[in-house]
Chains A and B, each alone.
Chain A
């Protein structure tokens, strides 16, 4: 008896968990390294050096919160934050709304659906630089939309958002929406296609109107799709830079400045790395502030329920 159990225990020794599935683990090592070194490491390094007085080259000359004090004292930074807030909130709401409406329209089994889908998705294939340039030309009062409409006879038509400091951010918003709505529309369309046909029938029999069905039945069912869309839109908002550079160069004056542009310009043109690091750390903070409540809602809630 003992010998049998001895031999069986030596044959069936529990495999070391570290080497279980080692090929998959090996394959994921590069990604883990990249994530740790580049993302986490780079971020930590930036935050640490934002407390130094680094100029063109990084130096370990500690200055405490000086960079941050200067940052929040700078008009250009305040304007950037304001612009990002306006652009961010408008972009988020409008992209979701327009994307969903377009998807709902396309979902109604219309003719030439794939042609429409292509047309709406096409701008997403363009880079932000091209988008910015194209919309700079369209919104140019002398050659663009304003001129065209005036040549049709409507002499007093004005549409010149890019040259007025108060409306330039909305000009950029138009370009951004044009570029990004297509992708959100496609995601929403995929989500809508996953809705059981019978739900529509049941709602029809119950006498619920189309709009009400969308709002009270369909959209709550599409929660994961909305979360995905939200994340995609948010990432596009934070990294807003090349669109501004191509479309307005930050102008007129400083009216269309955005945080990412502030970071790049102070890091390289002004050769003041410390300032740039402080600004990008603030950008990271804003993302974290939004992420934490969301993460709690998504993952914390599940533990309770």
Chain B
């Protein structure tokens, strides 16, 4: 073989080799608000930097709209390369049907079992000892966001917990400010209810009902207090005509509402609006009453694919998403907590630091998604929608809730 030919062959192999890396992966997600879009761009940039291409498949509407689309694509035989889903049981049946890629080898190579904190996140990805997803962040839902501008206008000091907030509500109403902003969608009302549960009833009661599905506790006195607090909150939120969660957050940002009960992803909205924590807004994890956060969040799943090149790329992406640099850049932009306990998050702002501290202290709980099936979640959301928009009494709502827990699977 001539030298000429040899160099051609080597050059060809090199080119082929490098072009073998330039894979296009379609990634679907529902991060479409301002803050969320900025965060997912960090993932895209990191992936594009490896020489591959990130084909963005953003789906408008929140998880409730996007999940059915994602699932029907996977079931329908036209799967995307990677997709966001929440931690928990949403993909359970898909895994059982063998439609999602097994990532155990990637997990073992990256030592995920050691770095993922809390370990419940990885447990949600595991079925029969095999790992099917890579967790990418931790979101907690038990936050109260307060507008300093609103409280200044009302001439009241910014409350430091839920009870103070309820006491200050009358002054806010006098100043023509809506005390509590609430979007008219079931999941938001459910989230508020969950936050109140942890704050008012305590973690044991919460665990008993959500994880162990104990209907007696659900009908008991701890939850009676929760429902009464919810009824209170309902009064304070009357007049919120907005639909989406970020529209409600916007009311807090502009000072037309005093507070919102929303998860830590609201952080991103404040960041995009260039508001400063402590000056323009405050955040109270656990509503200031109970320093506990639940640990829901997002994980990436990879539908099974025939093409070995794509499968290899999928595994590469999985490892990338959990790598230290990407975890830092992504979570800072999103306002969520990283899944790794071994990285430097000193660039994070005050709210995130509070969250990190609670995480480090171990004051965490698994999220509702991880314990309750989509069916039960939907039924609870229906109940919340009915409760929050009408005049159902706290007692009636509690009775229906206990019933749902009794029948939950």
Contacts and interface: CB of A to CB of B under 8 A. Distances in A.
B68 interface: yes
Nearest to B67: A269
B68 A268 contact: yes
Contacts of B385: 250-251, 253-254
Contacts of B375: 55, 266, 270-272, 275
A89 B379 CA distance: 29
Interface residues of A, number: 26
Interface in B80-106: 90, 92-94, 97
B377 interface: yes
Tell me if A's interface is mostly helix, strand, loop or mixed.
loop
B241 A271 contact: no
Nearest to A76: B382
Nearest to A268: B68
Contacts of A270: 374-375, 377-379
B250 interface: no
Pick from B64, B68, B382 the residue with the most CB of A within 10 Å. B382
Contacts of A253: 184, 385-390
Contacts of A255: 389-390
Given A57-B75, A266-B378, A251 B68 contact: no
Contacts of A252: 184, 389
B71 interface: yes
How many B residues are at the interface, by size bracket?
Answer: 20 to 34
Contact of A56 (B94, B386, B387, B390): B94
B53 interface: no
B353 interface: no
B374 A271 contact: yes
List 3 A-B pairs, minimum CB-CB distance, nearest first: A253-B389, A270-B378, A268-B68
Interface of A: 55-57, 70, 74-76, 141-142, 163, 165, 249-255, 265-266, 268-272, 275
27 contacts: A55-B375, A56-B92, A56-B374, A57-B75, A57-B93, A70-B407, A75-B383, A75-B386, A75-B400, A76-B386, A142-B241, A163-B241, A165-B390, A249-B184, A249-B243, A251-B184, A252-B389, A253-B184, A253-B389, A254-B385, A266-B378, A268-B71, A269-B68, A270-B375, A270-B377, A271-B90, A271-B375
Given A75-B383, A253-B184, A254-B385, 8 more contacts: A55-B373, A56-B374, A75-B382, A253-B385, A253-B386, A253-B388, A253-B389, A271-B93
